[in-house]
Structure 1
Amino acid sequence: MNNQVVNASEEEIEGMGKDEDASLGDYPIDTVLIRNENRTVHDVLRRIEKGSFVMDPDFQRDFIWPEDKQSKLIESVLMRIPLPVFYLAENSKGHMVVVDGLQRLSTFQRFVTNEFRLKLPDQAELNKKNFQDLSPKLQNRIEDCNLILYVIDAKVPAQALLDIFERVNSGIPLTRQQMRNCLYMGMATQFLRTEAATQLFLQATGGSLKPTTMRDRELINRFCAFQLLGLGDYRGDMDAFLARTLESMNILDIPAFDKLSAAFRTGLKNNVMVFGKHAFRKHVPDQEGRSVFNASLWDVMVTGLSQYPEHLVEARAEKLRAAFFPLLKDHDFVESITLGTNQVTRVKCRFARTKTMFGEVFGDHAG
C-alpha cells in the first residue's frame, strides 16, 4: 500500500472522484430554459434589499473586488459603457440566485449605500466621491443603468444547472460546493456551516479541508447524503446526489437536524478515539506521519461508526483496528477508495467491505 505522507500545509485530498466535465449530458439541448429580462440598477438593488435576489454571504466576503476595480465599474456606467450580461438562477422558492455578476451587483449595492469612495485619480470630477456626493444627474445615470439579466428557470435539473453555472461564471471560479451553497441555501447549508466550525470536526479532519473552497462542507454534505438518502439512492453522479440531499434537508424539522448532528458527531468522536490523527487516512500500524485525507474512506468510516455508541467502540477499539488494517491490504477495497471512486460499483464495494468489517467487530449492536 502506498501511503503518501505529507505536511499539513501541503495536504491534498484523495478519493474525491473527478467532477464531470461541463457537458450537460443527455439533457435536451432545446429545452434548457433561459429567459432574458432588462432591469435597472435601482430595480435590482430594491429586489436585493427585499431578499428576492440571493447574494450568498458565505463566500461573497472572500471574493470582494478591491475598491479601485469597483471604482472602474462605476466609471464605466457613468461613461455609458455597456456592461456584460448577468446570469441568475431561479430556485424552487422563486428567489434569484446570482450565478455570474455577484461582484458587479455587490459593487452597485456598496456604492449606492455610500460604503466606499471612488478611487479615480484621473477623473477629478469623480475621485474620492461617494454616491451622495454626485450630482443628481450622475446619481440617476447609475440608478437608471439598464442591466441585461439571463434567468435560468427553476425547472432545469440540478446537474444541468451546475454545468451552466460553471460555464458562464466569469469571476473567480467557484467550486461545486460553493455553487450548491448558493442554489440550495436554507436550513441544510446552515447545518453544514455549523458542523464545519466545531472543534471536533477540525480535530477529526486535522484541518485538511479548506473552508475557503467549502471543501469542509462538501465532506459533511457527503455524510448527510449517505446517512439520509442511503447507498441505494446513489446513481453514480455525486453532484446530483449531494444536491438531492440538500433539497431534502431543507424541509427537515429541528428534531431531525438534532438527530443528524448527534449521529455525525458520534461518527467523528469514534473515528478519533480509534485512529487519532490517522482518522480517514490510509495508514499502517505505528505509522508516525499522516497520510493524505481520503474522502472515500471518510464516507464509509464516519457513516459506519455513527451507528455505534461510543462506549462500545471504545471497548472494541483494538478489535476494530485489527479488522481495519487488513482492509487496506485488500486490492479491491484500496481501488474503491483510490481510483474511479464515484463509480457505483466502487462505492458499493467500499460500503459492503466496511459493513462486513463492522459486523464482525460489533455484531448487531448498531444503533
Structure 2
Amino acid sequence: MSTENIDKVNEDVEEIEGLGKDEDDSLGEYPIDTLLIRNETRTVHDVLRRIDKGAFVMDPDFQRDFIWSDDKQSKLIESVLMRIPLPVFYLGEDDQGRMIVVDGLQRLSTFDRFVKNKLRLKLSNQIDLDKKFFQDLSPKLQNRIEDCNLILYIIDSKVPERARLDIFERVNGGVPLTRQQMRNCLYNGKATRFLKSEAERELFKKATGRSLKNQSMRDREFVNRFCAFHLLPIEDYKDDMDDWLALALKKMNKLNEEDLHSLSLQFQNSLQNNYCLFRDHAFRKHTPGQNRRSVLNASLWDVMITGLAKYSHDQVQSHAEQLKNQYYKLINDEKFVWSITYGPNSPDRVRHRFEETQKMLEGVFNAYSS
C-alpha cells in the first residue's frame, strides 16, 4: 500500500490496539464517603458574573463548537420566562477552585449569549418575544432571566480521578465526551496547549499514519501518554491510566517554557526515529517485509516513543538494522506481545514491556559503543 493510500484510510473505522478498556463505571470500588458531591443554588446573573471572572471554565476545545441552533436556544429562554424548571447542572471543581462545566455547557452558553445581546429570539408563536434581544425585553422579563435559580451539583476536586471521569460520563447529557476531552478541560493550561500543538504537527500525523481522530482528542491522548511515561517514574504507575495521564498534565502545567520546549524536541526526535526505522508500520505489530498495515498499538507506542526519545537521529540511523532485528525478536516474544495486547494497563504488564524494551535498546547501543 502506498503512503498516499495509507493516508486515506478512514480514521472512523480503524481500531486502536493496546489501550485497555475504559475503567468500569460501576463506582462500586470507591468508598462512598470519597464521592464528595455538593449542591448549590445560584442565579443566572451570579453564574454569568463568575463566568466573566474566569471562575467557570468554558473552554473552546472542550466545548468544541457551539452546536445548539438559535431555535433551541430560544426555546430555553422561553422556558425560563414561562418559569418551567430546568434540569440540574453538573460541575467539576479543579485544584484552583474553578468550576468545570460537565453537563449544562450549552445552556450556560445560551444564557451568556442572550444576556450579552448576541442572540435574537426565534419564537414565532410568541409575538411579544419573537426577534427580540435581551435589551428589548421589559425590566420585568429581564429580571426573570437573571433571577432564575440554577441547581448546581459540584464534584469535589478531591474525588479520585477515575471516579470523577466515571461520574462525568454518567451525567453528561449532551454530546458524549471522551476522557481526554474531559482531561482537556480539567487541566486546561500549558499542558493542554502543548498536547494540541504537538498533535497538529505534520510529523506526528505522518508517524501515526493519520490513524488518530482529532475530534475525540485521541491524538492528544497519545501525546499525553508520551508525556506521562517520559516525565513520571515508571515505578510510580499504580494500575490507573486515567490518574497517570492526569498526573502528567498537572506536572506539565508547572513546567517552565524552556522545559516544555525541551520536551517537544525530545518528542519530535523520537517520532522521527520511529518513522525512520519502521515507516508506515511505526507503533504497529508487524513482521519484516509485511505489506498490510496493522492497527496502531497504544502500548507499543508507549515503549517505543519514550524509548527512542533519548537517542539522536544519527545514532538510530547508524544502528537501524540492529534495532530492527532486535525489535522483531522482541515482537516475537509471547510474554511481551501479551503485555501490549491483553490487560495492558496492569502494573506488571506496563513494567514488563518497558523493561524489555529498555533492555533491547541498551543492548543495541551498548554493543556499538563497547
The TM tier, using the shorter chain, reads over 0.9
Partner of 1:146: 149
Count of matched residue positions in the alignment of Structure 1 and Structure 2: 362
Task: Please tell me whether the aligned partners of residues 59 and 212 of structure 1 are also in contact (alpha carbons under 8 angstroms).
Answer: no
TM-score normalized with structure 2 length: 0.93
Partner of 2:80: 77
Partner of 1:198: 201
Query: 2: CA distance between counterparts of 1:149 and 1:130?
Result: 26
Instruction: Pick from 121, 126, 133 the counterpart of residue 129 of structure 2.
Output: 126
Query: 2: CA distance between counterparts of 1:228 and 1:23?
Result: 31
Q: Closer, same or farther in 2 for the Cα pair 1:36/1:182, shift >3 Å?
A: same
Query: 2: CA distance between counterparts of 1:32 and 1:333?
Result: 37
Q: Closer, same or farther in 2 for the Cα pair 1:269/1:124, shift >3 Å?
A: same
Q: Is 1:29 paired with 2:32?
A: yes
Partner of 1:160: 163
Q: Is 1:180 paired with 2:169?
A: no
User: Structure 2 regions of 5+ residues with no counterpart?
Assistant: 1-5
2:246 is paired with a residue whose SS is helix
1:66 is displaced (CA, Å) by 2.1
Report 1:280-295 matches (<5 A): 280-295=283-298
1:327 is displaced (CA, Å) by 2.1
Query: 2: CA distance between counterparts of 1:31 and 1:295?
Result: 31
Q: Is 1:319 paired with 2:309?
A: no
Report 1:1-367 matches (<5 A): 8-9=9-10, 10-62=13-65, 64-363=67-366
1:111 is displaced (CA, Å) by 1.6
Offset from partner CA, 1:13-38 (integer Å, 9 cap, x none):
11110111123354321342222211
1:341 is paired with a residue whose SS is coil
Which letter does structure 2 place at the counterpart of 1:218? E
Which letter does structure 2 place at the counterpart of 1:330? D
1:246 is displaced (CA, Å) by 1.2
Task: Please tell me whether the aligned partners of residues 35 and 151 of structure 1 are also in contact (alpha carbons under 8 angstroms).
Answer: yes
Q: Closer, same or farther in 2 for the Cα pair 1:240/1:85, shift >3 Å?
A: same
1:230 is displaced (CA, Å) by 2.5
Which letter does structure 2 place at the counterpart of 1:303? T
Task: Please tell me whether the aligned partners of residues 62 and 212 of structure 1 are also in contact (alpha carbons under 8 angstroms).
Answer: no
Q: Closer, same or farther in 2 for the Cα pair 1:365/1:78, shift >3 Å?
A: farther
Q: Closer, same or farther in 2 for the Cα pair 1:7/1:151, shift >3 Å?
A: same
1:163 is displaced (CA, Å) by 2.0
1:364 is displaced (CA, Å) by 7.8
Task: Please tell me whether the aligned partners of residues 191 and 253 of structure 2 are also in contact (alpha carbons under 8 angstroms).
Answer: yes
User: Structure 1 regions of 5+ residues with no counterpart?
Assistant: none
Matched-pair identity in %: 64
1:97 is paired with a residue whose SS is strand
Task: Please tell me whether the aligned partners of residues 23 and 162 of structure 2 are also in contact (alpha carbons under 8 angstroms).
Answer: no
Q: Which moved more, 1:11-20 or 1:277-286?
A: 277-286
2:20 is paired with a residue whose SS is coil
TM-score normalized with structure 1 length: 0.94
Query: 2: CA distance between counterparts of 1:312 and 1:31?
Result: 50
RMSD: 1.9
